[in-house]
Homo-oligomer: A and B are copies of this chain.
Amino acid sequence: VNTAIDNLHRLAARTTGTLSLAGGLPMASLFPRRLLGLAGLEASLETSGAALQYGWPEGNEELRRWIAGELQRRGAAVAHDDVIVTTGAQQALALTVEVLPEVKRSIAVEPETYPGALDLFQRKTALANDPRYAGVSYVVPGVGNPSGLDLTPFERDSLLSTGRFIIADEAYAELRFDGRVGRPLFADAPTRVFHVGTFSKTLCPGLRIGWLVAPTRFRQALLSAKRAADLQAPTLGQDMIERLLQRLDWSEHLAHARSTYARRVERLMHAVRRHLPGFAFREPEGGYNLFVTSDDPELDELDVLEQATKLGTSFDPGRLFRRDEAPLVFAMRLSSCNVPEESMDEAIRRLARAVSMSRRERRSGPRSRPTRAATP
């Protein structure tokens, strides 16, 4: 099924005129392209060639200092030597899974969560059926994915009180609409929490620069695992970010991203209320996505996605965010990033049409689905 979804997403990406609501891709117009370009030029031209050369597995010291500084500002006691620069947040998760023995017992995840983590955990261990017996919990604090919601104080406290190891994926946390980026979870349990962060959502994903702050006793094992995985994170990307951060007012940059995304998600909610009245969602606290559900038992996510692709739109089916065995409630994650603001209404209109076409076909009897049959 995931291959079928992938194929439809690739088809949508190839089709001009598609107003796509799929993909966790941040808005390209928010990338500080000019400053990044200058940073890349300067870094490459430097006579030493250092930005193009091999680097250390833990990453550039200056960048680690900056990351530690940001986390300190958020209330964590952390030094630059606690930070490991990773090849994106996904690698931070993969390295954690590799070194934390408790992972082998099973991982507890939220009912809906980041697909990249689900894939990884299902490859490497088992997802916990009963979270009480899990070895590790994986959560997405600050701004959840796909929900856009923070953990409630109660959830946060319960989680910490279990005494379990926690993987806290704060990839979207800096994108809270209200700008109140709270204490990272590891600040409250530094010996048990693996903190995962990234520049992919706040700056741009194409450099593949994320980070991991782990309990100290795992540091050497993590560095060995990092070396075995890919030696080190890209040197040029790290150097570019260091240079960029000297010129860019980071808090202003974030404030602009937050207000842009808040406005776009608002618009998305407005269009969903208008064109998909039977559908439910909770207003996100941050990020750029909207997670929309329906309890109509007739609707099938893949089917609606096929219709939507034909009608010139796309979305991420809810099943991507759920473990394989999860009961299927129809859901879609809609991204506000790839559609021009003035076309957002039209995108949701197309989606609504896809939903009703799918309903109509369902009612008109047993289905012949050549497209799906052809997919492995």
A11 contacts B by Cβ under 8 Å: no
Taken together, the copies of this chain in the complex come to: 2
- CB pair B36 A38 closer than 8 Å: no
A373 contacts B by Cβ under 8 Å: no
Contact partner of A37 (CB less than 8 A), chosen from B40, B91, B237, is B40
In the bound assembly, the distance between CA atoms of A28 and B46 in angstroms comes to 10
Binds B, one of A199-207, A287-295, A305-313: A199-207
- CB pair B45 A90 closer than 8 Å: no
CB distance from A46 to the nearest CB of B (A): 8
* Interfacial residues of chain A within 82-107, with CB under 8 A of chain B in the complex: 86-88, 90-91, 94
Size class of the contact patch on chain A: 35 or more
Closest to A48 in B: B28
CB distance from A289 to the nearest CB of B (A): 14
Q: Which residues of B contact A152 (CB under 8 A)?
A: none
Q: Which residues of B contact A207 (CB under 8 A)?
A: 52, 234-236
- CB pair A87 B230 closer than 8 Å: yes
Closest to A228 in B: B120
Other A-B contacts than A28-B49, A86-B230, A208-B234, 17 sampled, CB-CB below 8 A, are A28-B48, A28-B52, A29-B49, A31-B49, A33-B44, A37-B43, A37-B44, A40-B44, A52-B205, A88-B231, A116-B227, A123-B225, A124-B228, A206-B235, A206-B239, A208-B233, A229-B229
